Amino acid sequence: MARSSATFVCQSCGAVHNKWSGRCDACGGWNTITEEAAPAPAGGGARKPSKGRAFALEGLKTDDAEPARRATGVGEFDRVCGGGLVPGSALLVGGDPGVGKSTLILQALAAYAKAGGSAVYISGEEAMAQVRLRAGRMGLAEAPVALGSATCIEDILTTLDKGKTPGIVAIDSIQTIWTSALEAAPGTIAQVRTSSFDLVRYAKATGAAVILVGHVTKDGQIAGPKAVEHLVDAVLYFEGERGHQFRILRAVKNRFGPTDEIGVFEMTGRGLAEVANPSALFLGDRDSASPGTAVFAGIEGTRPLLVEIQALVAEAGYGSPRRAVVGWDAGRLAMILAVLDSRGGLGVSAHDVYLNVAGGLKIGEPAADLAAAAALVSSFAGLPLPRDTVYFGEISLTGDIRPAPQAELRLKEAAKLGFSAAVVPQDTRCEGAGLKLKTVRNVGELLEFAGAPRGKSART
């Protein structure tokens, strides 16, 4: 089939079209399609297909031990990677501009180099002087990191090939890297894809661990997202709410480890500090005994995490009531409100409702339902909940409270932080945590516990 020399490529998802259109059929993005001169098959220029050569197929069994991981020494980072970087692997670290990606990577490289590893940091965004200034401010100027400032992939690979293979190479950021083999402008999907592919190939060929830094676009995707995400072995997102100094590193894909781990950092004047006990951080200011707050005993990855959930239920003004939620799913809030109304008879549906997760954390666990419901009920009734109590459990549409996994881990963390009671689903067992357990079977029992009045709208 003859191919035209120009193709139209979606800059968001990488889909190739043979004519321009305003909307990409593949991802639905508007105005994302641009013309690119040469078609860019992964790995470089178009070649004539050669005659195939047979290769041996082998079994799954191996005598090789698990590869020794390269731990950087930044504990939270290593844990999210699954215990350190795997030799020959490629890792993508994505995040909004300014969230602290460069800071994190520089710290990880410096720690690795200080412990005797060889680390290379290639900055495509900042000049050498800027990186040095930052390193100086963070007290890392003495770390033997090899620093370079370059954007051309051929220059980078030639430089890397010259010396001994480094243990870790970081490229900051992948959007600035371009190859002279393509006419497309730097930052276009063809350039990002080709450069990433070359770097991944370099990692596989030499055994160096490669870290790619990538920016996230407005709608929360790494620019040129799918094209890079499937190339690399692991994808980590670095996120933080504006106005909070906490930063959370989250694995969204990991071929060598779990994807539900999070690492918690705090941005300080001297770089990122690891937060060893994140529960203390997300508990907010627990001194006030005001209505509308409940502590959720959650699990993030392998770690228990206590977070304060705050709710405000207020008389609605004109029109339809307002619902606003930060750190939780808006659909989930609507569901909980509906269940509280129709199963518990709370009568909250005509009120404005605001829900906030303290500390800028985002919660995805269904087990947070019970804590959110408790906070809502407490605010609606104007009665504070007992201060020494944590909550967890999933609420079903029938109004029943369903059990949550790893109850013991949650309760032990709560006990460690000085809580003395927990409101939990039925059949929750816990030996040795020393907490007083109050089991609730349905939202009606929760309302009773919180001392809330049952409204007229009760349909049960």
Contacting residues toward ligand TYD, per CB under 6 A: 95, 97-103, 134, 137-138, 267, 269-271
Q: Which stretch binds Mg ion (CB under 5 A): 84-92, 98-106, 158-166, 240-248?
A: 98-106
Number of residues near Mg ion (by CB under 5 A)? 1
Q: C-beta of 133: minimal distance to Mg ion in Å? A: 13
- Segment contacting Mg ion by CB under 5 A, of 59-67, 96-104, 349-357, 432-440: 96-104
**Residues 108 to 167 in contact with Mg ion, rule: CB under 5 A:** none
Query: At CA 383, angle to CA 379 and CA 384, rounded to 5?
Result: 85
- Quote the least distance from Cβ 32 to Mg ion, whole Å: 24
* Partner that binds at residue 269, options ligand TYD, Mg ion, none, CB closer than 5 to 8 Å by kind: ligand TYD
> Least distance (Å) from ligand TYD to the CB of residue 149?
15
Min dist CB 215 to ligand TYD, Å, is 8
3-state helix, strand, coil in the chain (%, to 5): 25, 25, 45
Q: Which is nearer to ligand TYD, 125 or 400 (CB)?
A: 125
Rg (CA), the chain: 26
Judged by CB, which is closer to Mg ion: 102, or 254?
A: 102
From the list Mg ion, ligand TYD, none, partner contacted by residue 270 (C-beta under 5 to 8 A by kind): ligand TYD
Facing residues of 236 across strands?
A: 93, 251
Helix (H) or strand (E) holding 102: helix 101-114
Cα distance between residue 311 and residue 324, in whole Å: 10
**Residue 120 host element (H or E):** strand 119-123
Instruction: Kindly state the smallest distance separating residue 125's Cβ from Mg ion, in Å.
Output: 6
Q: Is 195 in the site for Mg ion (CB under 5 A)?
A: no
Residue 267's binding partner among ligand TYD, Mg ion, none (Cβ under 5 to 8 angstroms by kind) is: ligand TYD
Q: Can you tell me the distance from the alpha carbon of 165 to that of 183, in angstroms, rounded to the nearest whole number?
A: 30
Q: Within 13 Å, how many C-alpha atoms sit on residue 17's CB side?
A: 19
Nearer Cβ to ligand TYD, position 95 or 278?
Answer: 95
Tokens of 159: 């430089």
- 11, 32, 89, 102: residue in contact with Mg ion (rule CB under 5 A): 102
Judged by CB, which is closer to Mg ion: 56, or 129? 129
Which two tokens mark 224? 């040129």
Tell the smallest beta-carbon distance from residue 31 to ligand TYD (Å).
Answer: 25
Comparing CA positions, the residue from 198, 155, 417, 450 lying closest to residue 298 is: 417
- Candidate segments 17-25, 30-38, 100-108, 340-348, binder of Mg ion by CB under 5 A: 100-108
Q: Return the structure tokens found at 94.
A: 């994505």
Q: What is the DSSP letter of 360?
A: G
Q: Which of residues 397-426 bind Mg ion (CB under 5 A)?
A: none
Rounded to 5°, the CA angle 204-208-209 comes to 95
Residue number, 148 or 366, with CB nearest to Mg ion: 148
Q: Which does 175 bind (CB under 5 to 8 A by kind): ligand TYD, Mg ion, none?
A: none
Q: How far is the CB of 300 from ligand TYD (least distance, A)?
A: 22
Residue appearing with tokens 């059929």: 25
What is the SS3 assignment for 224? coil
Q: List, as one string, the DSSP characters of 252-302.
A: EEETTS-SS-EEEEEEETTEEEE-S-HHHHHT--TT---SSEEEEEEEETT
Residue 135 beta carbon to ligand TYD: minimum distance, rounded to whole angstroms: 9
166 neighbors 118 (Cβ within 8 angstroms)? yes
Name the residue nearer to ligand TYD (CB basis): 173 or 378: 173
In angstroms, give the least distance from the CB of 171 to Mg ion. Answer: 11
User: Residue 165 burial (CB < 10 Å; 0-12/13-18/19+)?
Assistant: middle
DSSP 200-216: HHHHHHH--EEEEEEEB
Nearer to ligand TYD, 143 or 309 (CB): 143
Return the number of the residue (168 or 371) whose C-beta is nearest Mg ion: 168
Q: Please, are residues 281 and 301 in contact by the beta-carbon 8 Å criterion? A: no
For helices 153-162 and 189-206, angle between their N-to-C axes, nearest 10 degrees: 10
- State the binding partner of 103 from ligand TYD, Mg ion, none, CB within 5 to 8 A by kind: ligand TYD
Question: Among Mg ion, ligand TYD, none, what does residue 89 contact (CB within 5–8 Å per kind)?
Answer: none
Q: Which is nearer to Mg ion, 89 or 102 (CB)?
A: 102
Pick 173 or 279: Cβ nearer ligand TYD: 173
CB 411 to ligand TYD: min, Å: 36
Q: Which residue is nearest to Mg ion (CB)?
A: 102
Positions in the binding site for Mg ion (CB under 5 A): 102
